Chain A
Amino acid sequence: MNVPQGENGPVLLLEVEEVFAGYGKIEVLHGTSIRVREGEIVCIIGPNGSGKSTLLKTIVGLLKPTRGSVRLSGKEVGRLDPQEKVRLGMAYIPQGRNVFPSLTVLENLQMGGVSLGDAGAVRRAVEEVLEEYPVLKGRVRAQAGNLSGGEKQILALARAVMTRPRLILLDEPSIGLAPRIIEEIYNRLQEINRRGVSLAIVEQNARKALAVAHRGYVLDLGVTRLEDTGAHLLDNEEVRMLYLGEKGNGPEQEPQDPGSRR
Chain B
Amino acid sequence: MDLLLHLCVVIAIYSIFAMSLNLEVGYTGLFNFGHVAFLGIGAYTSAILSLAGFPFGMCLTAALVAAGLTGLLLSIPALRLQGDYFGIATLGFGEILRLVFQNEVWLTKGPMGLPGIPKPEMLGVRFESLPEYLGLAVIAVLLTYLILGSVTESPFGRALRAVRDDETAAEVLGKNAFAFKTRSFVIGSIFAGLAGVLWAHYTTFISPSDFTLNETIVVLLIVVLGGKGTRPGPVVGAIALIFLQESMRFLRLPPEWTRYLGPLQQMVFGALLVALMVFRPEGLIREKGRK
> What is the size, in residues, of chain A's interface with B at 8 Å between Cβ atoms?
29
Nearest CB to that of A93 among chain B residues? B172
Q: Does A31 contact B (CB under 8 A)?
A: no
Cβ-defined contact, A103 with B162, below 8 A: yes
Most buried by B among A62, A86, A101, A111: A111
> How far does the alpha carbon of A94 sit from the alpha carbon of B171 in the complex, in Å?
11
**A163 close to B290 (CB less than 8 A):** no
Give the residue name and chain of the B residue nearest to A119 (CB).
B155
Could you tell me if A62 and B171 are in contact, using CB atoms closer than 8 angstroms?
yes
| Among candidates A62, A110, A112, A115, residue contacting B155 with C-beta atoms closer than 8 Å | A110
CB distance A62 to B289 under 8 Å? no
- B162 nearest in chain A by CB position: A100
Answer yes or no: B168 CB below 8 A from chain A CBs. Answer: yes
Report the separation of the CA atoms of residues A115 and B173 in the bound assembly, to the nearest whole angstrom.
9
Contacts of B176 in A (CB 8 A): 81, 83
CA distance A145 to B161 in the complex (A): 13
CB distance from B35 to the nearest CB of A (A): 22
User: In angstroms, how far is the closest chain B Cβ from the Cβ of A230?
Assistant: 26
Residues of A within 8 A of B162 (CB): 100, 103, 107, 111
- In the bound complex, residues from chain A placing their C-beta under 8 Å from that of B290 are 102, 143
- Asked if B287 and A62 make an inter-chain contact with CB atoms under 8 angstroms apart, the answer reads no
Residues in A whose Cβ lies below 8 Å from that of B171: 62, 81-83
A107 to B166, CA, bound (A): 14
B165 touches A101 (CB 8 A): yes
Bound Cα distance A156, B186 (Å) = 31
Given A100-B165, A107-B158, A110-B158, decide whether A62 and B172 contact each other with a Cβ distance below 8 A: yes
Nearest CB on A from B291, distance (A)? 8
**Cβ proximity bits B16-40 to A, threshold 8 Å, 1 near / 0 not:** 0000000000000000000000000
Are the CB atoms of A98 and B168 closer together than 8 Å?
Answer: yes
Chain B CB within 8 A of A190 CB: no
Asked whether any CB of chain B lies closer than 8 Å to the CB of A66, the reply is no
For A81, list chain B residues within 8 Å (CB). 171, 176
- Chain B residues contacting A146 (CB-CB under 8 Å) are 289
Contacts of B289 in A (CB 8 A): 102, 104, 143, 145-146
Contact indicator B172/A92 (Cβ below 8 Å): yes
Determine the distance from Cα of A102 to Cα of B159 in the docked complex, in whole angstroms.
Answer: 12
Q: List B contacts of A103 (CB < 8 A).
A: 158, 161-162, 165
Question: Hey, which bits of chain A sit against chain B, CB under 8 A?
Answer: 60, 62, 81-83, 86-87, 91-92, 94, 98-104, 107, 110-112, 114-115, 119, 143, 145-146, 159, 163
Given contacts A82-B174, A87-B174, A107-B158, 16 further A-B contacts (CB under 8 A): A83-B171, A83-B174, A86-B174, A94-B172, A98-B169, A100-B166, A101-B165, A102-B164, A102-B165, A103-B161, A104-B289, A107-B161, A110-B155, A111-B175, A115-B174, A146-B289
- Which residues of B does A touch, CB under 8 Å? 155, 158-159, 161-162, 164-166, 168-176, 229, 287-291
8 pairs, A vs B, C-beta closer than 8 Å: A62-B168, A62-B172, A81-B176, A86-B174, A98-B169, A100-B170, A111-B162, A111-B175
